[in-house]
Structure 1
């Protein structure tokens, strides 16, 4: 893939830009096997490839410049705004709405936030594109002051972009290095975006996490479903379940499935998807994954974990090691923390694994492994 932003030095986020894709893919596999070398005997399935471009279904864009000439993109090392609204790793659906949103910033008088001066209102535009071409847009604001103007001009924006299904304002009054705040104001009739993945509609609320690469996420869930069907567990936990992708793909008649997630919004999204799919044996709880496991009277047949980059941590790793659970399906976005967690669970050995290329053009490694007791 060729990128003018990378070639000009305007954006270097894609650190492997220009590296032939086969080398990127083989390098990921080599890196994973190197880090997990202390755990031999794993059967590695062929890696899951991704389109080199047009794959990123969510854009987190910094809004800079002025109200009359806004930039949509990022800040460089010196804090200056850089416009990358044509970013080639974003889906065409994301790229299609960004120029219109830039015009809307001017029309609605949404003053871009000046980080250095700590003044202005509009901090970020968060855009999510669904597989069927519907779009969610979230305006991250410092205060409620621009809300009347947002509401006034929103009908015209919806006429220009009929694919907009969910529009919200997220309030982030603090000056700190986060992308969104806790309060969300829904400005459209609909508050959820449906993400069709394989044979399921996963409902996405504004503050819910969803995998950024839809096609690779679909492959990840299919792999989890296949491994689960081989094991035929009567009971499954999906810890750090997000909007329920793993839990819903691994559901089956007569199988008890529980998803646990700290985000109430994500859990509500998962419950809605379960209702729509008619899954009576699946339930979702809001809570901490470790606390849930430690308080449970007995482990299930299969535990699925998809932790954040920091990994499971010592308490949950220790519980899994001592619980007697027969199998763990570990989906990891950080092979280093995965290796650390595996060291803490010596009785649960990786039997089979697969690298999934969730973020082409970057050094990111996504890996799924099925662990079992010998």
Structure 2
């Protein structure tokens, strides 16, 4: 993939951009196979590849520059805005709307936040695109001061960009290295973005996590659902369930599926998507605590932890629980290998590399474990 920002040393985030894509995937396959090399007999399924560019369904744009000439992108070492509106890994639907959003913020008089001086209002613009082409836009503000201007000019933006269906203002008053605050102010009637994948429509609320690569996420959900259907368990837990992607793809008549997620907003999204689907329920809570305090053990557990992995407590519970099968979806093969070592009775039998993050060293790995 060619990138003028990379060539000009304006942005070096895509650290593998100079490596041919086929070599990127091969290197990730070899790294994963090496990390999981202590498990003889593990069958590696063909890897799932992604488009090399235009794959990201979410853009997190730092706002810099001036009111009249805002930049959307990153900050340089001096805290000045570097404009990346034509970033090659963002979906075309996102890059098409970013110039409209820049003009909108200028018309609304939203003052970009000056990080070195700690002045200004608009910190980030966050854009998410659904597979259907609809968009969610979130303006991360220092205070409520600019919300009236957002409301005043919003009808013009929506008329110009009708694919924008959800708009919010997120409040982040603190000066710290985070992207969003706790308070979300809806500015449109709709507050959720529908994410249709593989026959299942997920609901995404503003502060809910979703995989950044819709095409590969669809393949991931489909692969896990196939493994689960082959085993045909009567009961499934989806730990770290997010907005319910695995749980809803694994739902089936006569099967009880329970999803656990620490984010209450994500749980509400999952419940909304589930509707009246029988046998499926979601609860907000810590995945490890839920497992340790439960009086029952399901026939199959799906875990999709953050990069730090499940940790020793949950891995220890899985090892001792007697659960027959585990599906582990990992965005960090290093912590995956560590957690598998803590579960020696659960043998990896099948695994698949899914290249969720082209041009970077990050990779998703799905692994099916069965008790020996």
Q: TM-score, normalised on structure 2?
A: 0.99
3-state SS, counterpart of residue 128 of structure 2: strand
Give the paired residue count: 372
3-state SS, counterpart of residue 127 of structure 1: strand
The structural deviation recorded for 1:299 is 1.1
3-state SS, counterpart of residue 281 of structure 2: strand
Is the aligned partner of 1:8 residue 2:27?
Answer: no
Cross-structure match for 1:369 = 367
Cross-structure match for 1:147 = 147
Cross-structure match for 1:244 = 244
Is the aligned partner of 1:341 residue 2:343?
Answer: no
Measure, in 1, the Cα distance between the counterparts of 2:259 and 2:235: 11
The structural deviation recorded for 1:151 is 0.5
Cross-structure match for 2:280 = 282
Cross-structure match for 1:214 = 214
Cross-structure match for 1:174 = 174
Measure, in 2, the Cα distance between the counterparts of 1:217 and 1:53: 16
| Correspondence 1:237-276 to 2 at 5 A | 237-275=237-275
Deviation string 1:119-156 (CA, Å, 9 cap, x unpaired) is 11000000001111110000000100001101111111
3-state SS, counterpart of residue 253 of structure 2: coil
| Correspondence 1:1-374 to 2 at 5 A | 1-275=1-275, 278-374=276-372
Measure, in 1, the Cα distance between the counterparts of 2:306 and 2:371: 24
3-state SS, counterpart of residue 127 of structure 2: strand
Deviation string 1:139-191 (CA, Å, 9 cap, x unpaired) is 00010000110111111111111111000000001111110000000000100
More displaced stretch, 34-43 vs 282-291: 34-43
Measure, in 1, the Cα distance between the counterparts of 2:279 and 2:341: 34
Q: TM-score, normalised on structure 1?
A: 0.98
3-state SS, counterpart of residue 304 of structure 1: strand
Measure, in 2, the Cα distance between the counterparts of 1:82 and 1:196: 33
Measure, in 2, the Cα distance between the counterparts of 1:80 and 1:103: 19
3-state SS, counterpart of residue 302 of structure 2: strand
3-state SS, counterpart of residue 68 of structure 1: coil
Deviation string 1:322-372 (CA, Å, 9 cap, x unpaired) is 101011100000011111111111111111000000011111111000011
Deviation string 1:202-233 (CA, Å, 9 cap, x unpaired) is 11000110110000000000000100011000
User: Which segments of structure 1 move beyond 3 Å, counting only runs of 4 or more?
Assistant: none
Deviation string 1:43-78 (CA, Å, 9 cap, x unpaired) is 000000100111100000100011111000011233
Structure 1, gaps ≥5 residues long: none
Deviation string 1:12-47 (CA, Å, 9 cap, x unpaired) is 100011211110110110111111222332100000
Measure, in 2, the Cα distance between the counterparts of 1:129 and 1:59: 9
RMSD between aligned residues: 0.8
Measure, in 2, the Cα distance between the counterparts of 1:123 and 1:158: 21
Deviation string 1:229-254 (CA, Å, 9 cap, x unpaired) is 11000000000000000000000000
The structural deviation recorded for 1:298 is 1.8
Measure, in 2, the Cα distance between the counterparts of 1:246 and 1:155: 37
Structure 2, gaps ≥5 residues long: none
3-state SS, counterpart of residue 309 of structure 1: coil
Measure, in 2, the Cα distance between the counterparts of 1:78 and 1:24: 32
3-state SS, counterpart of residue 201 of structure 2: strand
The structural deviation recorded for 1:105 is 1.1
Measure, in 2, the Cα distance between the counterparts of 1:331 and 1:302: 14
The structural deviation recorded for 1:307 is 0.3
